[in-house]
């Protein structure tokens, strides 16, 4: 018997003449206590490989746990993961953020494969990771996104006020087909970050200051005037940066029509950035994964570790009530008839 407190323990099970004795704390043929399984899953979610977990048990508890045993423990969460991916969702989300992380998967040869995560902010201000989907690595088609969004709809999502994404081809058209009332909004923080990638670092502070009047404008018309001034100043030095903004303009301006509290929600990338940071930490130690399922299992265990209930659901990081009031006024005809949001 292996325990998480003292390592390996020898247990002698009493026997009676009729063989009817049934141990209660440690059942017959049980090799591990459940606390050990929980520890393995926790270490795995934090980015340790099966070899590193085995070494940890040998060093700390003085017991030998094979890599195959550790793999079998982590494989048990696959059914749980499938149940999680099919669970019912809220009928309405104020915003859904969609982003990708690239993972190396060995399938014949090592290749970069994106995994897309969707985080929904519901009307109670809860951030909920709605799902994780493996892509193909060469840009996903509208058919792929239509399938993902239809899956969300089949799980109970009836309406989304805003879909926030960043340059994912095929996604805007699919959003219009599945959630026709949703506004497609480009990720402002990603747009700014991509802008700096085209510019010399010594110009970053000035560019940041010059872009502020664009994304903080009171109206789309004011934003356009501010951007033309920006383009006139920086267009000659950094034409690719100006083209970046022009190409994203249609998906950039929607949030300018809304209350400042709604803008705060749409401009915040803390939710998706925090999740991606956890994902990167978990996959970095592994280098690459043997297959798509192994990578997906690791990402799910990361989600599972985000809160004690294992749902990946957390509270919005800012004051939610002002935002809820702004959404309730702006989308009054789409809000639930009776609301008791906390």
Residue 329 shares a structural domain with residue 248: yes
CA distance 228 to 145: 34
- pLDDT by residue, tens only, the chain of 342 residues: 444 444 455 656 566 666 665 654 345 555 544 567 777 777 776 667 777 788 877 777 677 777 788 777 777 778 888 999 999 999 999 999 998 888 888 877 888 889 999 999 999 988 899 999 998 766 678 899 999 999 999 999 999 999 998 767 788 889 999 999 999 888 888 888 899 999 999 999 999 999 999 998 999 999 999 999 999 999 999 999 999 999 989 888 988 999 988 988 888 666 677 788 888 888 886 777 888 888 888 888 888 877 645 444 555 555 788 989 999 999 999 998 754 454
Under 8 Å between Cβ of 157 and 227:
no
Tokens of 314: 């957390």
Q: Which residues contact 248 (CB under 8 A, 6 or more apart)?
A: 167, 186, 191
State which of 50, 75, 100 marks the end of a domain. 75
Confirm whether 116 is domain-assigned. yes
Residue 94 three-state SS: strand
Q: How far apart are the first and last CA of the chain?
A: 47
Residue 21 shares a structural domain with residue 104: no
Residue 17 shares a structural domain with residue 50: yes
Indicate the pairing of strand 183-186 with strand 92-107.
Answer: unpaired
**pLDDT given at position 316:** 52
State which of 23, 41, 75 marks the end of a domain. 75
**Domain count across the chain:** 2
Confirm whether 275 is domain-assigned. yes
Residue 216 three-state SS: coil
Matching residue, tokens 């009307």: 123
Confirm whether 340 is domain-assigned. no
CA distance 127 to 119: 6
Other CB atoms within a 10 A radius of the CB of residue 39 amount to 18
Residue 51 shares a structural domain with residue 96: no
Under 8 Å between Cβ of 105 and 291:
yes
State which of 51, 75, 99 marks the end of a domain. 75
Neighbouring C-alpha atoms within 13 Å toward the C-beta of 39: 18
Question: What is the domain extent for residue 21?
Answer: 2-75
Under 8 Å between Cβ of 8 and 60:
no
Residue 116 shares a structural domain with residue 257: yes
Residue 102 shares a structural domain with residue 192: yes
The DSSP letter of residue 12 is: -
Confirm whether 341 is domain-assigned. no
Matching residue, tokens 């510019």: 199
Burial of 140 (0-12, 13-18, 19+ CB in 10 A): buried
The per-residue b/e assignment along 25-36, b for 16 or more CB within 10 angstroms, e otherwise, is eeeeeeebbeeb
């Amino acid at each position: 018997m292996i325990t998480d407190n003292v390592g390996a323990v020898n247990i002698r099970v009493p026997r009676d003449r009729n063989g009817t004795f049934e141990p209660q704390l440690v059942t017959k043929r049980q090799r591990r206590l459940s606390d050990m399984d929980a520890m393995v899953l926790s270490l795995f979610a934090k980015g340790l490989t099966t070899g590193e977990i085995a070494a940890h048990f040998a060093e700390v508890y003085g017991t030998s746990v094979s890599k195959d045993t550790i793999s079998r423990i982590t494989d048990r969460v696959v059914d749980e993961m499938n149940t999680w991916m099919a669970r019912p969702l809220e009928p309405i989300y104020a915003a859904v953020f969609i982003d990708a992380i690239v993972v190396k998967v060995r399938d014949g040869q090592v290749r970069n494969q994106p995994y897309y995560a969707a985080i929904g902010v519901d009307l109670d201000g809860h951030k909920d990771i709605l799902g994780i989907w493996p892509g193909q690595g060469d840009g996903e088609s509208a058919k792929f996104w239509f399938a993902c969004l239809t899956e969300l709809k089949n799980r109970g999502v009836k309406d989304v006020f805003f879909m926030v994404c960043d340059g994912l081809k095929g996604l805007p058209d699919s959003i219009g087909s599945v959630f026709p009332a949703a506004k497609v909004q480009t990720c402002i923080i990603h747009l700014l970050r991509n802008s700096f990638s085209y510019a010399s670092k010594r110009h970053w502070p000035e560019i940041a200051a010059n872009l502020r009047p664009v994304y903080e404008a009171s109206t789309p018309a004011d934003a356009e005037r501010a951007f033309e001034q920006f383009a006139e100043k920086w267009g000659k030095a950094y034409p690719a940066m100006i083209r970046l903004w022009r190409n994203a303009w249609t998906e950039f301006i929607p949030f300018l029509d809304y209350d400042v509290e709604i803008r705060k929600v749409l401009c915040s990338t803390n939710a998706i950035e925090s999740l991606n940071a956890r994902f990167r930490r978990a996959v970095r130690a592994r280098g690459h994964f043997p297959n798509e399922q192994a990578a997906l299992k690791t990402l799910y265990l990361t989600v599972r570790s985000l809160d004690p209930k294992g749902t990946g659901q957390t509270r919005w990081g800012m004051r939610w009530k002002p935002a809820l009031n702004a959404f309730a006024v702006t989308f009054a005809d789409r809000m639930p008839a009776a609301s008791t949001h906390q």
